């Protein structure tokens, strides 16, 4: 695998198609490396290459490619990153020929984390607490422009069925996996641990980024509502400039402070939507703790649209006019 920098260099030395521009991650993450490249055979178009750094990461990469291939074939949605290709090169390494797999994606811009605070952990009297530095609330216009696109992409992902009864769950919604290009188009990315499930709720192996995982992951359960919870955390950060929980354990025992109490500029209706996305009742019977959370992204999207409409003189229908990636996102008002 591409465990070391010189192994990446070897790849780019044997292909004339791509020129490495810069790393998009400073160190290999769970899957490996993300590299911004120029495609020399497509008018120098910017693309992203994902390189695995271990055998298990190669399997994850090919799973992601399978998910993205389905999206590319059946679901060309402007708020979902698109797969370019899955490629394999033969490289002579340590005196033997090896196959090296990687995937090529469209370049979706910078991630949402650049607009939010930096999340970390610190130890306080033997207890782990979150540290959130540099965060500040987005304006309501920014919030709705970005937030509606996030939920629209999630809605499309959850509603897609190649086979009746099978649904895709992202499992790793977080600011780093939400990209915004220079036109303001938002795209969900990183489907490396996504899963195709055959029931609305299914037992799973826990995976994802711990601060954004819903409490039910501790029980080994997954559903569309799990992605909604993670999305709720992201929306909370966007509207308050803070992380909703003080410590990793808090989510299991308590609900966060409502956004409107943290940032008084937050409309009460919007605060309620985010709190419903984060709903968790630790005292409810097993399997019922998330009962009052949004069960579908479509329901959450409808409430966000109504909330947006109440903040504007003419409530918009939010029918998308521009559906192609890279175009400005335009919504048409009701009745036009």
In terms of phi and psi (left: phi > 0; alpha: psi -120 to 50; beta: otherwise), the region of 84 is: alpha
What are the backbone dihedrals phi and psi of residue 327, each rounded to the nearest 5 degrees, phi first?
-90, 155
Per-residue burial over 59-81, b = 16 or more CB atoms within 10 Å of its CB, e = otherwise: ebbebbbebbebbbeebebbbbb
Write down the catalytic residue from 152, 172, 190, 227.
Answer: 172
Residues in the chain: 336
The region, left, alpha or beta by phi > 0 then psi within -120 to 50, assigned to residue 287 is left
| Helix (H), strand (E) at residue 9 | helix 5-14
15-24, long-range: CB < 8 A, 24+ apart: 15/89, 16/40, 17/41, 18/47, 18/49, 21/46, 24/48
Does residue 172 have an active-site annotation?
A: yes
How many whole angstroms separate alpha carbon 21 and alpha carbon 35?
Answer: 7
Catalytic residues: 172
């Amino acid at each position: 695998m591409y465990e070391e920098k010189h192994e990446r260099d070897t790849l780019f030395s044997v292909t004339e198609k791509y020129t490495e521009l810069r790393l998009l991650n400073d160190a290999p993450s769970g899957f490996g490396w993300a590299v911004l490249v120029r495609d020399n055979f497509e008018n120098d178009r910017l693309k992203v290459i994902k390189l695995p750094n271990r055998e298990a990461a190669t399997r994850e990469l090919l799973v992601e490619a399978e998910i993205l291939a389905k999206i590319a074939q059946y679901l060309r949605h402007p708020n979902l990153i698109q797969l370019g290709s899955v490629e394999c090169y033969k490289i002579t390494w340590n005196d033997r020929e090896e196959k090296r797999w990687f995937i090529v994606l469209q370049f979706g811009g910078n991630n949402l984390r650049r607009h939010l605070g930096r999340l970390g952990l610190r130890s306080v009297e033997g207890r782990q607490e979150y540290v959130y530095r540099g965060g500040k609330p987005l304006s309501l216009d920014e919030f709705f422009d970005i937030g509606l696109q996030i939920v629209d992409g999630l809605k499309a992902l959850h509603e897609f069925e190649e086979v009746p009864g099978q649904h895709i769950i992202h499992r790793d919604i977080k600011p780093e996996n939400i990209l915004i290009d220079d036109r303001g188009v938002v795209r969900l990315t990183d489907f490396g641990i996504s899963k195709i499930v055959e029931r609305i709720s299914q037992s799973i192996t826990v995976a994802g980024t711990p601060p954004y995982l819903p409490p039910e992951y501790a029980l080994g359960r997954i559903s569309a509502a799990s992605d909604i919870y993670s999305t709720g955390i992201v929306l909370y950060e966007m509207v308050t400039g803070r992380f909703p929980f003080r410590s990793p354990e808090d989510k299991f025992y308590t609900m966060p402070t409502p956004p409107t109490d943290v940032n008084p500029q937050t409309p009460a209706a919007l605060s309620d939507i985010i709190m419903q996305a984060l709903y968790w009742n630790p005292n409810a019977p097993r399997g019922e703790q998330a009962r009052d959370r949004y069960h579908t992204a479509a329901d959450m999207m409808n409430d966000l649209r109504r909330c947006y409409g109440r903040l504007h003189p003419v409530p918009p229908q939010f029918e998308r006019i521009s559906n192609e990636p890279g175009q400005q996102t335009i919504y048409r008002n009701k009745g036009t």
